[in-house]
Amino acid sequence: MLAIDGGIVAVGDPAVIDSDPRAHGARRIAWTRRAMVPGTVNTHNHSFQSLLRGIGDDLPFLAWRDQALYRYSPRLGAEDMATAALFAFGEMLLHGVTTVCDFYYLNAGGNDHATATIEAARRLGIRIVLARCFYDWDGAPASYRETVPQAVANFEALAKSYANVPGVSIQPAPHSQHGASPEMIEAGAGCARDAGVPWHIHLAEERYQVVDSLKRFNARPIHAIAALPVDMSQMIAVHGCWFDDSERAVLAERGGSLAYCPGSNMFLGDGVTDLVDLVARGVRVGLGTDGGCSNNRVSVFDEMRMAALLQKVHRTDGQAIDAETCFALGTRTAGAALRLPVGQIAPGYRCDLVALDLDDPSLWPVQALEKNVVYALSARAITDVVVDGQEVVAARRLSHVPLDEIQARVADLTREWRRA
């Protein structure tokens, strides 16, 4: 049983909670025939990409980018981005995701798109980190690009507008070495320093990005970033498939974090991040699903399983990493990477919970529950989801937005979209 007031104030047997003075006046949560687990934390996603599911599948990375992302995303307006967010985040809630970091680069020179996405998240009840992108590469669509002063001003305006809104965090995200100039990366990191929040950047996802970094900066990606006047202890690198040993050492020494997206990395054929080494070095790692057209699932429970299996086969070692570690990567350490009090069922943390049906065969035998959650869980077993003490999924249905509404909006928006 839990006693809650939006946050968790006490955990334990009913008799223990009744005698705990911290629990006096707090609401109780007690489920029957349910396992209560922390809500999962998705440290990396692009919500609008769920609209592109199936459009660019089974293509090389650059063809996928050009024929799916660059072809359709410039058509999207603020209301379309709200539809995408309802779609992506609604599906995530049904899979037990209670916090999502939306790495957001389709800003169209302002904050209308980001605001529409945040408001869709609030309508559903999911906790959101809006990682507002800093992007100035002239090879990208115009709706992605800003100057450094524009990106800083827009980030600061968005952060100010949501400074006191529960369940919303605004963090800066210089896109990547190819998408953001060194000046843009410094600006994003500077905004993070001033705001006291993490900053996000895609690094070394594809082998060609390492080659490009060596050509442009005479250094591998992490070393090139480390040479800039930025605080890497606030950095969340995304992917890192091609970090070498020296880069992983620097990431650990400088206190950086990693958003690891094994499903997307396999889907796109990116490469294999050395997760085992990063965890051994003490790097904070959180799991992410990446975008809905590069995975194409949005379940962090799925990512736990894929993280474990990919590392085991890559090292040809069935003991390379265990289920308990991978469960933490999708809950506790993911929350720590985002600097949020989420991912644990403990006093002082926000009340973000998932109820799992103990009568579902995917969880049998219950003596091995944590192993089964990582390796065997069916989405069918997820019955209820709570965010900040409020029920957002009840009896396997979204509580605040009808799924029929989301389906109709997605169908209307994408009716004429086709593969190239």
Which of the four pLDDT bands, split at 50, 70 and 90, describes residue 234? very high
**187 Cβ partners below 8 Å, 6+ apart?**
134, 148, 151, 152, 174
Instruction: Read off φ and ψ for residue 61, nearest 5 degrees.
Output: -50, -50
Q: Is the pLDDT of residue 21 over 90?
A: no
Residues of the chain above pLDDT 70, percent: 97
Coil, strand or helix at 30: coil
The H-assigned helical ranges of 218-299 are 221-226, 245-253, 262-268, 275-280
Quote the pLDDT of residue 61.
82
pLDDT at 214 over 60: yes
Q: What is the mean pLDDT of residues 1-6?
A: 66
CB atoms within 10 A of CB 414: 19
Q: Which pLDDT score is estimated for 30? A: 79
Residues with Cβ within 8 Å of residue 356, at least 6 apart in sequence? 34, 35, 36, 37, 363, 373, 377, 381, 382, 383
Tell me the two tokens of residue 397. 């249905």
Which residues, including other chains, have CB under 8 Å from residue 87's CB and lie 6 or more apart? Answer: 47, 50, 51, 292, 406, 409, 410
Q: Which pLDDT does position 1 carry in this prediction?
A: 55
Distance (Å) of CA 382 to CA 61, 261, 344, 354, 360 = 33, 22, 18, 7, 9
Give the pLDDT confidence score for residue 4 in this predicted structure.
Answer: 67
Q: At what angle do helices 78-94 and 403-414 cross, to 10 degrees?
A: 130
Compare 321 and 25 and report the one with higher pLDDT.
Answer: 321
pLDDT value for 10: 84
Tokens of 383: 């019955």
pLDDT at 314 over 70: yes
Alpha carbon of residue 266 to chain centroid: 17
Q: Which residues fall within 8 angstroms of residue 5, CB to CB, at 6 or more apart? A: 25, 26, 27, 389
The answer, yes or no, to whether residue 3 has pLDDT greater than 60, is: no
pTM above 0.85, yes or no: yes
3-7, 66-70, 105-109: which range is least confident on average? 3-7
Q: Say if residues 159 and 194 touch (Cβ distance below 8 Å).
A: no
Q: CA gyration radius for the chain? A: 21
User: Is pLDDT above 80 for 19?
Assistant: no
Contacts of 140 (CB under 8 A, 6+ apart): 70, 179
pLDDT value at residue 373:
98
The answer to whether residue 207 scores a pLDDT higher than 70 is: yes
Specify the pLDDT at position 23: 64
The pLDDT of residue 394: 97
Preceding omega of 296 cis (within 30 degrees of 0): yes
| Residue-averaged pLDDT of the chain | 95
- Residue-wise pLDDT for 31-70, tens only, equals 899 999 999 999 999 999 999 999 989 988 888 888 888 9
pLDDT exceeds cutoff 70 at 368: yes
- pLDDT tens for each residue of 236-266: 999 999 999 999 999 999 999 999 999 999 9
The answer on pLDDT for 24 being more than 70 is no
pLDDT-wise least confident of 3-7, 28-32, 163-167: 3-7
Digit-coded pLDDT (tens) for 338-358? 999 999 999 999 999 999 999
DSSP code string of 177-239:
TTTS-HHHHHHHHHHHHHHT--EEEEES-SHHHHHHHHHHHSS-HHHHHHTSS--GGGEEEEE
With 90 as the cut, is the pLDDT of residue 303 above it? yes
Residue 44 and residue 288 in contact, taking contact as beta carbons nearer than 8 Å = yes
> Helix, strand, coil shares of the chain as percentages rounded to 5?
45, 20, 35
pLDDT digits (tens, 9 = 90+) for 151-177: 999 999 999 999 999 999 999 999 999
